[in-house]
Structure 1
């Protein structure tokens, strides 16, 4: 029981930051390119309460943390009216990339936290900083890689729609109503882990090596 409580304490802050900043980044970039939908609804915010989904942000991550496997979850999606963007098809690319980009940035910041923790060997803060930093890297890399899967409505699906020719993009976007069901099926069958696991491992190695840390 103590280890469960410890894991929750270590992962809580990184999970909340990872999901909150991911969604806020989408809203901020959408606002930059002309869509004020998320801004008008108060979703361009670092306040976690505005982005938390009780099931996706709290319950499911807790279950996957307790049961093992790939940490899985989501926040309330930031509303984006792509037709309100100045150049909808082109700007969609940057709006979609903003979330994974925010996760990569946070993974690097958590690696820096580990670096700082290692530099404080005599401090009571050192061990918690290192453990939280490791959790932060893991969570953000998982969210980044997962969201880059070319499956609507994930960010990777939006990116694919932005890059594909118009007729192909229209056909591909029709997958979106079934995307979440496909994702859950891949997760339950273990196919999802097999697909993204190697990319997660490689990315984590690159992040920690960037700061000269041990893998």
Structure 2
């Protein structure tokens, strides 16, 4: 088998498990917090679950992330939205913000857990230690990237839903209406536009670097220090 193909298969195998865990637990956290705060809509649909099939969207969870990873090295995607009926929450605006924060919060907790697990790699047989270690490193990176990305105040992202709860009612309604086109706006701004500009020789435009990769690197350094990886 061609060396480049082998390397690609290894990269995909290292990314697959952490990515599925990151997305599954992110969505399960939304569903669990909504349930505990008074809305059992997601719970009744089985979304408080560690079963990936309950959360995966074939297009947003598999096709888009795999394509972007293969051609750009970046990870971006989405799962099936967790249904939340805001009016059923005990304190609708506050609780909706908490539900939204729970997904990225889970990703940051997972990043810390993967960092701690790196300390156990030396206990494994040499034949699997390297691959498992790469999974743990990928788990840190993927969860930090998803956590940072989802906290951006854009429609369709968790940060946008938090912002929506902070806006006056009229402005919040307008902001919520932009959610239907939110993912396309992000894909265009983060990937399509930089790609086209780069082809034109204008490589300085890179909002993904500014808004996601730099904060991810900063958080990586903090976690590495706190968990003793440094």
Both proteins in one fold, TM over 0.5: yes
Name the counterpart of 1:107: 111
CA–CA separation in structure 1 for the residues paired with 2:149 and 2:98: 17
Query: Which runs of structure 2 are paired with 1:190-201 in the superposition (5 Å)?
Result: 190=194, 191-201=207-217
Q: Name which of 166, 170, 178 aligns with 2:169.
A: 166
CA–CA separation in structure 2 for the residues paired with 1:152 and 1:37: 22
Residues 174 and 127 of structure 1: CA distance in aligned 2, closer, same or farther (over 3 Å): same
Name the counterpart of 1:156: 159
On the 8 A contact 1:113/1:129 being kept in 2, the answer is: no
Question: Could you list the runs of 5+ residues in structure 2 that have no partner in the other structure?
Answer: 195-206
Name the counterpart of 1:129: 132
Name the counterpart of 1:177: 180
CA–CA separation in structure 1 for the residues paired with 2:124 and 2:91: 52
How far does residue 12 in structure 1 lie from its aligned partner after superposition? 0.9
Q: Are 2:106 and 1:90 aligned?
A: no
How far does residue 125 in structure 1 lie from its aligned partner after superposition? 3.1
- SS of structure 1 residue aligned to 2:127: coil
- SS of structure 1 residue aligned to 2:59: helix
How far does residue 122 in structure 1 lie from its aligned partner after superposition? 6.1
Question: Could you list the runs of 5+ residues in structure 1 that have no partner in the other structure?
Answer: none
TM-score by length of 2: 0.86
How far does residue 196 in structure 1 lie from its aligned partner after superposition? 1.9
- Deviation larger for 142-151 or 68-77: 68-77
Residues 69 and 34 of structure 1: CA distance in aligned 2, closer, same or farther (over 3 Å): same
Residues 123 and 69 of structure 1: CA distance in aligned 2, closer, same or farther (over 3 Å): closer
How far does residue 145 in structure 1 lie from its aligned partner after superposition? 0.6
CA–CA separation in structure 2 for the residues paired with 1:31 and 1:132: 31
